[in-house]
Structure 1
């Protein structure tokens, strides 16, 4: 589950702006001082302009230029309304618009709105004959709200910068940890390669030499013990070669350059004489999930060779929208065929695969089918 993103102070302020502007408009529409008869016609015009400014604000929610125009109209209308109806809510409406402009807009744009609003207020005061104390108080309120909005904007920007810096620091720490983990995995891969791979190579060479000695024509041919010894040496050589391939695969996984899953399965199937079918649009799983799928196919093929030697085996890899499904199925064992490897192993292979699958969020199913064959199925969410 992805972490919840907390809203920044600036986003909180921006989300509250429409409510504040709407509250100022409702106050202007319902104020009793503007509902009395005999008020100047200019007050009606100002209220109409406030409504128009609010409509433009709502319409231009994604257009910065339209927002500035709407706030300018709202602020100027509020200032003029405060001069022609001194007891009305005009000052509050204009101050609200200026605070919003300073909070969410660039300083030069909000300063232009402030200048136009104060100029309109002074002109309306001169025309209406409003006392200087009234328009000076209104202009001072406008200026104070504009300053408060600017301070809030600066605070929000600093808070966002601090959050970005913290996020960058966290990413840097995560990258450092990841680099350290990669370095450790590379060291482990190098140790595995230098120790296990070299040992298996030497073992394979010695087994090949032993197989050659046992094939010497001077030895009596057809003896039962000699035939068994030759079979054991050949089997041990094959297991050594498979161990080398598995070691190489583990080293590649540790170095995070694991081969594509389809390519690895094709090579594995060729080694065991199995058929491979890939359906859907190939989507390469994560290195961990790919390794689990490969190990599952490997264990299933080994079990088929142990318990159903000579039976047909098919590997099917299905790529779906949100899951990959690997199915390995072998036909029923033929009657009378010897199974010399049936009792080998610890019997915990499928249990270990199920545990591997659970680590990467997958599910492993295994069991006998109706015709007596065996099926292993792995599902991993992509």
Structure 2
């Protein structure tokens, strides 16, 4: 019987959901679910009801002014293609629309009042203001007519009303391109800019992606995230064991895998215990060696601080036991006992020679001190 089968045959104790599972399934999962539904609903609305319009038309009234000038980049504000329309209250008035550079337009309207179009105030209204151009107006009779001037890149004129389509590719520098509208008199009516957008912004796709991610989080919160950590680990272990048995095609592989794991664990425990005993043995051996080395150090005898005659007599009296003890120590310690015995035992001849040498040194010292006093 494999480990997996034993685990499956164990009696299952029925227990209620934990507090963690209740929170994940009762609070977190509904929140993620509601957010996912809201994202999907807003995505559908942005694709249908709230879908941006393809065509944008913005207009502005013109009162008491002859010229209307657009700022740079206004023509490309919504799309690269724009349709400009101008209408006058005087049906017989010659209305012209010219496309040129900002410098040429400023030179033509120098000293004149004009209406400036700066952008969009909303999706249906142009943002305008009345200003006066710098410079001095040229009122000479030899002045070239507006439609005959070579300052314009493109020009179109008509009586009463005129419209012109401008493409971004028609100009080398789109940022420097402006439109100048000449109503011929101060009876202008309206100016209209119309864009037909080819690429609409897609606001629905990000909402769909967010809704999908929130739905996945809701499912995970109700299943995986709600499980206790120990159950997740047990399932992973069982999955590993099942994978071994299925891949090999034999249930004996499962038991072999378990036995190998148990053998490896026991080997690691044995190696650790052996290593610990070896370390303790090394510590004990080191302590014995250090104490033995301390006992092997030679004994130093200071003849000045000791009574050598009494020591010699005691040594002679205790010669028999000393020899037996030295013999026992010699069998265990070796050559170190010989050094100790030679250092501690002094013969009578050596003692007499030592006293004679000591007396001679004292006489020499006294003679030298007397000679130094006489010299002084």
- What TM-score does the superposition give when structure 1 sets the normalisation length? 0.20
Q: Larger % of strand: which?
A: 2
- What TM-score does the superposition give when structure 2 sets the normalisation length? 0.20
Q: Larger % of helix: which?
A: 1
